[in-house]
């Protein structure tokens, strides 16, 4: 009886949140009408014809220019080094790391608006940058922050879809199911069914993308509260920005954790187009699947241990080191543990990369955050020790192309320090952030009219015959 009553009061609370947000939606439209320079969609509307013309002209003049040669190794070896995607929002250099619309992470930290003077960038600012290629003003970021809050209403059936799963199911499974349930409200699907012309596809894609980005922290927080806490929803706080609100809805209100979440969401957002999640999202979207369908597919790629799930694996692995050897582990003990992991046929999670050939700058900025806020944390000190111990061992293996740490090697110990210690949840955080990059590019995919993705595949017979003839 008590259980039924608490379910029904949860439902009432959710409905109140829906009503409050419908009102906020109307206010948003009034604000947008009166100040187009503060409205992201108006900015895009201005830019799109120019970019469409740029691509058309470029393709007609240079469409037949060759970029590199495809080798048998590339065909068999996961297409490494094969340039095959147009991705406007970011570009990855193997030595230097990611640049978002030309800006490195330290440059973003310097140039993008912040909530705290000298603090971490606001993810809303990065969203603006990825979509427009321009660094937004404080006022523009503030308007986008408000807009995202006004779009953050999650229908009751989304919670019910999640509730239908066992509470023990992996948080990524619950999160992706929530995203699939959000799809019911796809503006793109509705517009397509009504026969919207191709030239206008980007507009409902924009609506879906912003709604999705706005609603993901709410869904993700619910998954966290359901699995690890009391399943009570902490409502959005209208005075907080995107990153801080996410932290707040999860149940973490330390201002330093708010800063960490702003940094976390900013740096995990985009990593050019070829990574598994971004590429999957782009591929599925190329069939004109709407942003919800495409992003849910992307999340399923992110949930793999060689990709986004590595952040979970890293903290579990670090904790297994402590369990076996204690916190004051010596360098020799640590070396032995790394070898033991490798000799049992496992990878060292958080190390290596498909493109990067140096330490990931996303690792470095998290390290700087730790040096500033938690220098004495024993797990941070262990992460630092691993930075000395792991690369020479991976180099010694002789086959690892990049022995240096990636983004996932660091994120877990920071979250753990502020109390978010449930490693199985970490990839959900990555997923929320990755929506910003994938959806930004998806809007441009539609604006530029990019076609169905359909590369050619061949059989082993085909390859053998081809090579015989070529010899």
Tell me which of 148, 172, 348, 442 binds ligand NMX, using CB under 6 A. Answer: 348
103-104, strands of its sheet edge to edge: 90-93, 97-100, 103-104
Active centre residues (catalytic) = 307, 353, 408
Residue 82 CA: distances (Å) to CA of 97, 329, 459:
18, 42, 18
Report which residue's Cβ sits closest to ligand NMX.
352
Burial of residue 93 (CB within 10 Å: 0-12, 13-18, 19+) is middle
* Candidate segments 25-33, 83-91, 402-410, 436-444, binder of ligand NMX by CB under 6 A: 402-410
Based on the shown chain and the rule CB under 6 A, indicate whether residue 265 belongs to the binding site for ligand NMX.
no
Q: What is the C-alpha to C-alpha distance for residues 276 and 266, in angstroms, rounded to an integer? A: 19
- For the chain, give the longest Cα–Cα distance: 78
Q: What is the C-alpha to C-alpha distance for residues 283 and 291, in angstroms, rounded to an integer? A: 11
Based on the shown chain and the rule CB under 6 A, indicate whether residue 90 belongs to the binding site for ligand MLT.
no
| 406: its two tokens | 């990636």
- Contact flags string 395-414 toward ligand MLT, x per CB under 6 A: -----------xx-------
* Candidate segments 18-26, 140-148, 286-294, 398-406, binder of ligand NMX by CB under 6 A: 398-406
| Cβ distance to ligand MLT smaller for residue 149 or 307 | 307
What is the nearest approach in angstroms of ligand NMX to the Cβ of residue 343? 11
Q: How many residues bind ligand NMX (CB under 6 A)?
A: 21
Q: What is the C-alpha to C-alpha distance for residues 249 and 222, in angstroms, rounded to an integer? A: 8
What is the nearest approach in angstroms of ligand MLT to the Cβ of residue 74? 15
Query: 206: closest CA among 44, 396, 15, 319?
Result: 44
Query: 273: closest CA among 265, 282, 264?
Result: 282
Based on the shown chain and the rule CB under 6 A, indicate whether residue 393 belongs to the binding site for ligand NMX.
no
What is the nearest approach in angstroms of ligand NMX to the Cβ of residue 383? 13
Cβ atoms 276, 443 nearer than 8 A: no
User: Which among ligand MLT, ligand NMX, none contacts residue 223 (Cβ within 5 to 8 A by kind)?
Assistant: none
Tell me which of 185, 275, 411, 433 binds ligand MLT, using CB under 6 A. Answer: 275
Q: How many CA atoms lie within 13 A of 438 on its CB side?
A: 35
Tell me which of 400, 413, 438, 443 binds ligand NMX, using CB under 6 A. Answer: 400
Tell me which of 5, 194, 198, 399 binds ligand NMX, using CB under 6 A. Answer: 399
Based on the shown chain and the rule CB under 6 A, indicate whether residue 296 belongs to the binding site for ligand NMX.
no
Q: Which helix (H) or strand (E) holds 103?
A: strand 103-104
Query: 372: closest CA among 361, 380, 383, 382?
Result: 380
User: Rule CB under 6 A: which residues touch ligand MLT?
Assistant: 271, 275, 307, 354-355, 406-407
Binding site for ligand NMX (CB under 6 A): 306-308, 310, 342, 347-354, 394, 399-402, 406-408
């Amino acid at each position: 009886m008590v259980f039924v009553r608490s379910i029904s009061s949860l439902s009432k609370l959710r409905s109140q949140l829906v009503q409050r947000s419908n009102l906020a939606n109307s206010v948003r439209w009034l604000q947008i009408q009166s100040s187009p320079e503060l409205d992201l969609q108006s900015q895009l509307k201005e830019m799109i014809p120019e970019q469409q013309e740029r691509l058309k002209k470029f393709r007609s003049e240079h469409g037949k220019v060759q970029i590199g040669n495809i080798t048998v190794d590339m065909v068999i070896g996961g297409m490494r080094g094969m340039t095959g995607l147009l991705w406007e929002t970011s570009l990855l250099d193997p030595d230097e790391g990611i640049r978002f619309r030309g800006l490195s992470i330290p440059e973003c930290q310097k140039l993008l608006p912040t909530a705290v003077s000298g603090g971490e960038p606001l993810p809303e600012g990065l969203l603006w940058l990825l979509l427009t290629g321009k660094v937004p003003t404080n006022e523009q970021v503030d308007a986008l922050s408000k807009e995202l809050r006004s779009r953050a209403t999650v229908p009751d059936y989304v919670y019910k879809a999640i509730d239908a799963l066992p509470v023990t199911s992996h948080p990524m499974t619950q999160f992706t199911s929530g995203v699939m349930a959000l799809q019911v409200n796809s503006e793109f699907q509705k517009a397509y069914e009504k026969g919207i012309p191709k030239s206008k596809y980007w507009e409902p894609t924009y609506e879906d993308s912003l709604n999705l980005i706005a609603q993901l922290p709410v869904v993700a927080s619910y998954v966290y509260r359901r699995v690890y806490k009391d399943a009570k929803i902490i409502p959005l706080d209208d005075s907080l920005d995107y990153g801080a609100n996410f932290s707040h809805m999860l149940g973490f209100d330390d201002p330093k954790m708010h800063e960490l979440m702003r940094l976390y969401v900013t740096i995990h957002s985009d990593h050019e187009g070829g990574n598994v999640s971004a590429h999957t999202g782009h591929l599925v979207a190329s069939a004109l699947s709407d942003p919800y369908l495409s992003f849910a597919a992307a999340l399923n790629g992110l949930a793999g241990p060689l990709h986004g799930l590595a952040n979970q694996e890293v903290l579990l692995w670090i904790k297994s080191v402590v369990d076996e050897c204690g916190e004051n582990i010596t360098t020799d003990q640590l070396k032995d543990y790394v070898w033991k992991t490798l000799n049992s046929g496992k990878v060292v999670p958080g190390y290596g990369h498909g493109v990067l050939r140096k330490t990931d700058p996303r690792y470095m900025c998290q390290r700087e955050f730790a040096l500033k806020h938690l220098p004495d944390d024993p797990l941070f000190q262990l992460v630092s020790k691993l930075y000395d111990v792991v690369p020479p061992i991976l180099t010694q293996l002789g086959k690892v192309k990049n022995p240096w740490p990636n983004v996932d090697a660091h994120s877990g110990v920071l979250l753990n320090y502020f109390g978010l210690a449930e490693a199985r949840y970490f990839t959900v955080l990555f997923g929320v952030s990755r929506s910003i990059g994938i959806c930004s590019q998806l809007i441009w995919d539609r604006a530029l009219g990019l076609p169905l993705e359909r590369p050619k595949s061949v059989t082993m017979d085909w390859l053998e015959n081809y090579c015989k003839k070529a010899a």
